Structure 1
Amino acid sequence: MAATQELIVDVNRIRKAAQSGIPLTITTYTLPHEIEVYVEQVLETFLKEVGQERLKDYLGYCVRELAVNAKKANTKRVYFMERGLDLQSTDDYKIGMENFKTDTLENIAHYLQLQKEKGLYIKMIFQSKGSTIILEIRNNVAVTKTELIRIHDKLARSRQYESLEEALTQVLDDSEGAGLGLVILVLMLKKVGLDEDCFDIVSADTETIARISIPLAQTRIENLSQLSKAIVDQVTALPQFPENIVSIQKLINDPKSEMADIARQISMDPAMTADLLKIVNSAQFMLPKKVDSISEAVKLVGIRGIKNLLYSYGTQKILGDETNDKKNLWDHSYRTAFYAYNLAKNFRKDRNLMDDVYVGGILHDMGKIIFSNVHPDLIGKIRAFCSEKDIPAATFEDLSAGMNHAEIGALIAEKWNFPENLVNAIRLHHDPSVAAAEFKDIVETVYLANMLCEFAGGNLTFDQIDRKVLSNFGISSEKQVETLITRFDQGFKAENLRSH
Structure 2
Amino acid sequence: MMQKVRAAARAHKPISIKSYTLPHQTEMQIEEILGAFLKELNRDVLKDSLAYCLRELTTNAKKANTKRVYFEEKELDLSSDEDYRQGMQTFKQETLDNIGYWLEKQEAAGLYVRVSFQIQGKDLHIRVANNTHITRKEQIRIYDRIARSRAFRSLEEAMTAVLDDSEGAGLGIVILVLMLKKLGLDEEAFDIDVENNETVARLVIPMDETKGDHLTHMSQELTAHIQSLPQFPESIMQLRALLDDPDAEVTEIARTLGQDPALTADLLRTVNSARYMLPRKMDNVVEAVKVVGLRGLKQMLFSYGTQRVLGDGSENAVSRALWEHSQRVAFYAYGITRHVSKRKDLLDDVYVGAILHDMGKIVFSNIHPDTVEKINDFSRKKGIPSSVFEEMSEGIAHAEVGAQLAQRWNFPDVLIETIRHHHAPLKAPPRYRDVVATVFLANTLANMDADEYELLDGRVLRLLGVESPERLRLIHQRLQEQYDTEYAHLDHRRDSSS
TM-score (ref. length: structure 1): 0.54
- The correspondence for 2:47, drawn from 133, 150, 161, is 133
Distance (Å, rounded) in 1 between the aligned partners of 2:274 and 2:225 = 40
Seen in structure 2, the aligned counterparts of structure 1 residues 490 and 255 have a Cα distance that, compared at 3 Å, is same
Name the amino acid aligned to 1:185.
Answer: Q
User: Of the candidates 431, 439, 453, which is equivalent to residue 424 of structure 2?
Assistant: 431
Mapped to 1, the partners of 2:399 and 2:276 lie a distance apart of 30
The residue aligned with 2:30 is 124
Q: Deviations over 1:423-467 (max 9, x none)?
A: 0000000111111110111110000100111114x5x83354222
The answer for the alignment partner of 2:17 in structure 1 is: 67
Q: Which whole-Å CA distance do the structure 2 matches of 1:65 and 1:130 have between them? A: 19
- Structure 1's 215 and 284: CA in aligned 2 closer, same or farther, altered over 3 A? farther
2:213 to 218, 221, 230: 221
Q: Paired residue for 2:250, among 254, 259, 266?
A: 259
SS at 1:185's partner residue? strand
Q: Distance in 2 between matches of 1:283 and 1:369?
A: 26
SS at match of 1:340: helix
* Match of residue 275 from structure 2: 284
Structure scoring higher RCO (CA < 8 A, sep ≥ 6) equals 1
CA distance in 2: counterparts of 1:461 and 1:217, whole angstroms:
36
> What is the CA–CA distance in structure 2 between the aligned matches of 1:191 and 1:219, rounded to whole Å?
14
Residues 1:270 and 2:254 are matched in the alignment: no
Q: 2:119 aligns with which of 157, 172, 186?
A: 186
Structure 1: 5+ residue stretches without partners: 1-58, 72-108, 137-180, 193-212, 377-394
Aligned length: 312
CA RMSD of aligned residues (A): 4.2
Counterpart of 1:255 in 2: which secondary structure?
A: coil
CA contact 1:282–1:498 (8 Å) conserved in 2: no
Tell me, yes or no, if structure 1 residue 467 matches structure 2 residue 461: no
CA distance in 1, matches of 2:394, 2:220: 16
Q: Give 1:227 shift.
A: 7.1
Alignment-derived partner of residue 203 in structure 1: none
Runs of 4 or more, structure 1, over 4 Å off, are: 119-122, 126-130, 181-184, 213-219, 226-230, 395-403
**Does the C-alpha gap of structure 1 residues 130 and 267 become closer, same or farther in structure 2, counting only changes over 3 Å?**
farther
Deviations 1:391-445 (A, max 9, x none): xxxx998565695100000000000100000000000001111111101111100
Question: Hey, what's the Cα distance between the residues in 2 that align with 1:308 and 1:190?
Answer: 49
- The change in CA–CA distance for 1:396 and 1:345 in structure 2 (over 3 A counts) is closer
1:174 maps to which residue? none
Query: Counterpart of 2:375?
Result: none
* CA positional deviation for 1:264: 0.7
- Given that 1:229 and 1:411 are in contact with CA atoms closer than 8 Å, whether structure 2 keeps it comes out as no
Change (3 A) 1:448 1:304: same
Per-residue deviation, 1:186:
2.7
Assess, with a 3 A threshold, how the Cα gap between structure 1 residues 260 and 396 changes in structure 2: closer, same or farther. Answer: same
TM-score (structure 2 length as normaliser): 0.54
Counterpart AA for 1:187: Q
Look up the SS of the partner of 2:30 in the other structure.
strand
Distance 1:249 1:216, change over 3 A: farther
Quote the offset at 1:470 in angstroms.
Answer: 1.7
* 8 Å contact kept, 2:422–2:437: yes
Any gaps of 5 or more consecutive residues in structure 2? 1-8, 52-113, 126-204, 370-387
Residue 323 of structure 2 is aligned to residue 343 of structure 1: no
2:440 matched residue in structure 1: 447
Report if the CA contact (8 A) 1:312-1:362 is conserved.
Answer: yes
For residue 119 of structure 2, give the secondary structure of its aligned residue in structure 1: helix
After superposition, the C-alpha distances for 1:93-116 in whole angstroms (9 at most, x for unaligned) are xxxxxxxxxxxxxxxx9xx9xxx9
1:306 counterpart (294, 297, 300): 297
Task: Kindly indicate whether the alpha-carbon contact (under 8 Å) linking 1:232 and 1:412 is maintained by their aligned counterparts in 2.
Answer: no
Aligned partners of 1:259 and 1:298 also within 8 Å: yes
Can you list the C-alpha shifts for 1:3-62, whole angstroms capped at 9, x where unaligned? xxxxxxxxxxxxxxxxxxxxxxxxxxxxxxxxxxxxxxxxxxxxxxxxxxxxxxxx9xx9
Distance 2:393 2:322 in 1: 15
